[in-house]
Structure 1
């Protein structure tokens, strides 16, 4: 059954064992997507969508207005009109930024979480089929699977070794052969989720590992690489470079992290047109709001991208400084950072005084004391596989990094 709305293509499918029409659920393939008013016309006297022709009722800045001054400009947008359902301008800028063939390779969602949810809904039959995840990893994969009544197969990342270096067999690398064994044992696995750089590990999954899974003929589904933190890693490490060559790959990115736009909730999927068209057919008609689109388009301008890269350089430099400062707390029972530190955070284990081993009890006490008594909030990650006793610390401003080290010093001395 052909995918509705997909333009014909003579491009051969690679890998040859992949057939997207066998991956997408039949009810989704046969879906006739909702056609909204703005799909046809966006200019002229618009009397087709039952919008309020008189505009919004939010007052301008007055003594009684609750609108913050910095939001006044948003009132000048056409808030009474439904937003552009396709957002082609944003897609074109993303395609250019990521060296993707064109906007037909780009999907926009309400954060990466909408992309995750849509992928499960279009590919994985509830109560029958499964996804595969690689703990320790982003928690929303499992949460979304449960919401959608989808099974979860877990194959831990490599948990041994002193430190993950992003190589083939370092700590927190993908255990590719074990993933293949899991696929062989359970043909109902439709999606493989890889987080790279990992959350909470901060370690890249090598492109050779991704390729190995994409080319594994026994796996007929889609490999999803979540790259929320990719801009904090070295150049040429993104799986986006593989999108044009592999039809069974979906790369997720976001404007939340490197672009500093977590509040606008703009997630991205990069894939070949068939999968993008399926996601487009299935999404809510106007999923990207006008304020979000306006800010995203501005964030993807050349000058804004230059600024983004400058801030990344500052944060990665600060990351090294933070790691050095945290290392000075070793005598107080703070272990060396684990993971390859390819993101905008670091993860350090709190150690037991007597044994010198990671200690979840002490770590939780430190975590709570920092937050409740010292006004510094980090994240306890000790419950994740291979992360016993660990605190995840986001790289902050220079002053924030200095403060977290000072407060950690004080708390570790008494706990």
Structure 2
């Protein structure tokens, strides 16, 4: 069954064992997407979509209304700029200029390789809905990994197969120390044993591992004839790793890969909730056919377009350079706390955070109880919020610490030293 909206010549042929029409659920392939008003016309006297013809009602003069961070909007603030955004109109359903800028930034041939979602979480959910039949089919994940894969699977009533990452260089008495790596052969065994697996989710750099999965490992799964589904590579943190690390470089060759990215991390735009899927046109078309009609809001699109301008991209890269330098300094500072029971940072440092085990006093064994006490005390008594990850596979006793500014990192080390002395 052909993909609605896709030119026949757009169907990819490599690798030969992959056929996207056999991966997409039949009810999705036959879906006629909702056609919204702005798909047809976007200019003129627009009386077709039951919008409020008098415009929005955000007042500039209400000084009693504070913004979420406590500041009071003033004349000339962002509220005034909303007048030019036509907020009373439904947004553009396709956002071609944003997609073109993303395609150029990521080295893809055209905007038809780009899909936009409400954060990466919408992309995850859509991929499961279009590919995986509830109650009958499954996804594969590689713990420790991003928790939303399992959450979305449960919401969509699909099974989850787990192939844990391998942690090499174990640090005595079960200490979490070393490097995480993808066990490619074990993943192959899992898909051989269970043909109902339709999606493989790889987080690279991993959350919470901070470890990049090699392009050679990803390519090995894409080439494997025993797996006829799609390999999904979640690259939320890829801009903090070495240039050339992105699996987006594989998209022009492989039809069975989908790379997820976001503006939340390197671009510093977590609040606008813009997620990205990069893939060959057939999969992008199916995602577009299935999404909600106006999933990306006008304010989000407005800010995303500004963020993707050449000047903003240059600023983003400058901030990444600063954060990478801060990451190295934070790593060094954490290592100076070894005598207080801070173990060696686990995984590699390819993201904007570090994962460090808290050990039993005087021993090299990770201590979940102590780590959780440190986590709670830091947050509730010292005003420093990190993330407890001790329940994740291979992360016993671990805290995940986001790389902050130099001043923030200095406070983290000072407060961590103080709290470790307490327990």
* Cα distance between partner residues in 1 of 2:158 and 2:61: 49
Q: Deviations over 1:239-291 (max 9, x none)?
A: 00000100000000000000000000000000000000000000000000000
**Does residue 376 of the first structure (1) align with residue 384 of the second (2)?**
yes
- Asked whether 1:54 is paired with 2:61, we answer no
In the alignment of these two chains, the number of paired residues is: 409
In 1, distance between residues paired with 2:346 and 2:83? 46
Q: State the alpha-carbon separation in 2 of the partners of residues 355 and 394 from structure 1.
A: 26
Q: Give the corresponding residue for 1:198.
A: 206
Structure 1 runs of 4+ aligned residues shifted over 6 Å read: none
Would you say 1:209 and 2:237 are equivalent positions?
no
The corresponding residue for 2:175 is none
Q: For 1:414, what is the secondary structure of its paired residue?
A: coil
Q: Does 1:340 align with 2:348?
A: yes
Q: TM-score by structure 1 length?
A: 0.97
Distance 1:18 1:233, change over 3 A: same
Is 1:186 aligned to 2:170, yes or no?
no
Q: The residue matched to 2:166 in structure 1 has which SS?
A: coil
Q: Show structure 2 runs of 5+ residues with no match.
A: 68-72, 172-177
1:84 aligns with 2:89: no
What is the deviation of 1:336?
1.1
Structure 1 portions without partners, runs of 5+? 164-169
Among 231, 242, 246, the alignment partner of 2:250 is: 242
Distance 1:300 1:239, change over 3 A: same
Question: Where in structure 2 are the equivalents of 1:15-164 lying within 5 Å?
Answer: 15-66=15-66, 68-69=73-74, 70-72=77-79, 73-161=81-169
Shift of 1:61: 3.0
Whether the 8 Å contact between 1:134 and 1:157 is mirrored in structure 2 is yes
For 1:9, what is the secondary structure of its paired residue?
helix
RMSD (CA atoms)? 1.2
Q: Compute the TM-score of the two structures, normalised by the length of structure 2.
A: 0.95
Q: Aligned partners of 1:92, 1:196: CA distance in 2, in Å?
A: 24
Q: CA deviation at 1:354?
A: 4.0
Q: Is the 8 A contact 2:341 2:362 kept in 1?
A: no
Does structure 1 residue 226 correspond to structure 2 residue 220? no
Question: What is the match of residue 361 of structure 1?
Answer: 369
CA distance in 2, matches of 1:364, 1:12: 49
2:58 and 2:374 map into 1 onto residues whose CA distance is 45
SS at match of 1:284: coil
Question: Is the Cα contact below 8 Å between 2:231 and 2:256 reproduced in 1?
Answer: yes
